[in-house]
């Protein structure tokens, strides 16, 4: 089992998202995250899909995506140099002064921004890799337990430009 990344170009049409997500549920493929958005071409949407699977299943997933009429191109990002980021908002409620000091320290260490604050509640905006966000969530859960509220967007990824980055 290995973490995989797929970049998918699809027709920007009604029902394509459900077609793709339905393929995963219908065939019992595991899906970690899926994001979709418009591209420079208004007729094409681009998806970033992350999933965890063995080699055989992953090959099958790529083939199944590729044979869908709505899919224009499947690119496997798994072993490529990519820039990949996920947006995460964390709200921490009922903060004491010590909590707030701690949160400002955490934000500095993790390089994330505190974008809103009312004396009791702190809102963090974290645009990092999925793993880094996982680490941050683990830390915040440990420190603030049930007082946190989380929303995360799923990753978007794009291939690196520089040759050195591409390895």
The residue ranges that bind another protein (CB under 8 A) are: 10-11, 14-15, 18-19, 22-23, 26, 56, 59-60, 63-64, 66-72
* Cα dist from 27 to 11, 18, 69, 125, whole Å: 22, 14, 17, 35
For the CB of residue 139, give the shortest distance to another protein in the complex, in Å.
41
For the CB of residue 5, give the shortest distance to another protein in the complex, in Å.
20
For the CB of residue 18, give the shortest distance to another protein in the complex, in Å.
7
Of the pair 65, 136, the CB lying nearest another protein is at 65
For the CB of residue 90, give the shortest distance to another protein in the complex, in Å.
35
Task: Tell me if residue 22 falls in helix, strand or coil.
Answer: helix
Give dist(CA 36, CA 154) in Å, integer: 9
CB 142 within 8 A of CB 106: no
Of the pair 10, 88, the CB lying nearest another protein is at 10
Of the pair 26, 119, the CB lying nearest another protein is at 26
Give dist(CA 163, CA 77) in Å, integer: 16
Of the pair 43, 93, the CB lying nearest another protein is at 43
């Amino acid at each position: 089992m290995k973490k995989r990344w797929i970049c998918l170009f699809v027709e920007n049409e009604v029902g394509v998202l459900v077609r793709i997500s339905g393929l995963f549920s219908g065939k019992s493929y595991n899906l970690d995250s899926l994001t979709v958005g418009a591209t420079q071409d208004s007729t094409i949407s681009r998806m970033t899909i992350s999933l965890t699977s063995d080699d055989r299943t992953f090959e099958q997933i790529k083939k199944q995506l590729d044979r869908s009429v709505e899919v224009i191109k499947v690119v496997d990002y798994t072993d490529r140099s990519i820039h990949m980021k996920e947006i995460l908002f964390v709200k921490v409620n009922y903060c004491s002064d010590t909590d707030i000091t701690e949160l400002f320290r955490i934000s500095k260490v993790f390089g994330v921004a505190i974008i809103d604050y009312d004396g009791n509640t702190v809102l963090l905006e974290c645009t990092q890799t999925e793993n880094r966000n996982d680490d941050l969530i683990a830390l915040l859960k440990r420190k603030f337990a049930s007082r946190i509220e989380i929303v995360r967007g799923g990753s978007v990824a794009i291939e690196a430009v520089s040759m050195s980055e591409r390895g």
